[in-house]
Chains A and B, each alone.
Chain A
């Protein structure tokens, strides 16, 4: 059995307000190495909140999240930032690349934050861009790339830090069907060939079809897990 990468226990997130909202209501789940998992559910079901907590971007009201055995809910803010840098890859809906940097530099930037040597940064960035099918586009800035290409740069960036897993929040929401198919093929290949764990929050059927495990969430609870 593969080793667990993410172990969530009794996770709750309550947004305080005039009427407190329980966005995540007692979720427990384990994601193991090499999974290709989709968290699906309608808007407002709590899947993005769950994803943000798994990524250490949001703190749960109660419960624990262990990543590679480390309970990230107990980490200080600075330690958590460093933990994210070294253990978690992010792919966002709106790509969120740095517009003033080339594709190669966008991928390298993460490794720079990790203080990796220049030669390693450049070699790995080239290799990752090649892996996502962007050979020859290394020097293009985001503005010169299509949405699909930008999202592929974002995937390469997410992998650059050699994370334990990649969290992708609606990664295909802004893409046409061809770009979506390409992107999913690339992520599936990286998953199968390199054993990279992917967790998606999505309601895109094209992503859900590719996923090998689908966790349905509704009203902050796990409805089904297959």
Chain B
């Protein structure tokens, strides 16, 4: 009957209860939207980075990060072919691509910048990455020619480059000597990540080999069938590697993406925490009002022999019920509106440039993250639980004689 009393008590002050239940529902709704939006944005950035440039994992020489790039090659060409066969035989791997990776400078008539020069096998790259889909000018090594170079749109702007502009690349060869070669811009690309575009240029491996003398393979990009459990799969991949080679998952290759994930988790907890704090005060206020209005009745209950435990329980149940009503409404609203926005997308074209710096497109498609439903449900109930303590203490402190008299 305590539940019945608590339930009916909620509806005594209908407007007030509706306001509190409404604020719980709106708080949860907003929380779920933020979660959906954040996950949508982050996952899209990750998917875009993996798909366009990074792959799910990369294989390098173990000294790749420490040594000058040109010398930390994986192996000779035939050994790399064998290595890729081994990797492609793993059940979760969908494909591989090899690359030459050089650190160097690009000089235009206007300016110079440090860049990373990616020597690619265009046919492989086209299969394993979506870079070819992001060409804004020129082509992806389709037209024949010599010393063709693809640059990012942002770099092209900085260096004042156009199609067919001439640039000079300076880089180290296998012996560590500085080499120079002139290239012509044959294409301009624009991925979702402006930072990447600014620091990476793509050359045909054959053109680099003319200067380097030999094919240097520094990197094997690995694509998995699915973007799930990537860390675990990268470990399995590492276990299959011969000595001297190292495997990095996309999170290790692009730590900023991993940080973004972690940051987002912290941010979401903070945002939810702030929402819950606001709800906490709302619920406390509501319950204190309810206690104040029912002093006489509570005094009577204490007088006739309701013990403190039961009185506490009654107020606790009443407070929790506010959460039990508002919580599901908020979750339902949040779920429905996230689903609606998953279809239409959230158009942020006006902030396109800023978003490109973050590696995100201008239309964000939120995602449903079921685990957060549970987290929110637990947070709401915990909030209601905490919110009930102060009003309950207030009620327990009532003096029955004074409360009944209404003084």
Chain A contacts to B: CB under 8 angstroms: 52, 55, 57-58, 78, 81-86, 88, 90, 92, 94, 96, 98-101, 105, 108-110, 112-113, 157, 161
Contact = CB atoms under 8 A, between A and B. Distances in A.
A108 B400 CA distance: 21
Given A57-B400, A101-B5, A109-B1, A96 B296 contact: yes
11 contacts: A52-B401, A57-B303, A81-B308, A82-B307, A85-B305, A92-B404, A98-B5, A101-B5, A113-B304, A113-B307, A161-B305
B225 interface: no
Contacts of B12: 99-100
Nearest to A121: B1
A110 B5 CA distance: 13
Describe B's contact surface by its main secondary structure.
helix
Nearest to A51: B401
Contacts of B1: 101, 105, 108-109, 112
B308 A96 contact: no
A110 B305 contact: yes
**For chain B, which range describes its interface: under 10, 10 to 19, 20 to 34, or 35 or more residues?**
20 to 34
B300 interface: yes
A174 to B, nearest CB: 13
Nearest to A58: B401
B320 to A, nearest CB: 17
A144 to B, nearest CB: 14
B8 A84 contact: no
Contact of A78 (B2, B308, B406): B308
A182 B308 CA distance: 36
A79 B307 CA distance: 9
A97 B4 CA distance: 15
Given A57-B401, A81-B308, A100-B12, A90 B297 contact: no
A112 B400 CA distance: 20
Interface string B1-40: 1101100110110000000000000000000000000000
Contacts of A55: 303
B401 A92 contact: no
Give me the 4 closest cross-chain CB pairs, A-B, nearest first: A85-B305, A100-B8, A96-B300, A84-B305
Given A99-B12, A100-B5, A100-B9, A85 B304 contact: yes
Nearest to B296: A96
Interface in B247-281: none
Q: Which of B5, B304, B406 counts the most A-chain CB atoms under 10 A from its CB?
A: B304
A167 B116 CA distance: 93
A81 B400 CA distance: 11
A78 B404 CA distance: 19
Contacts of A96: 296-297, 299-300, 404
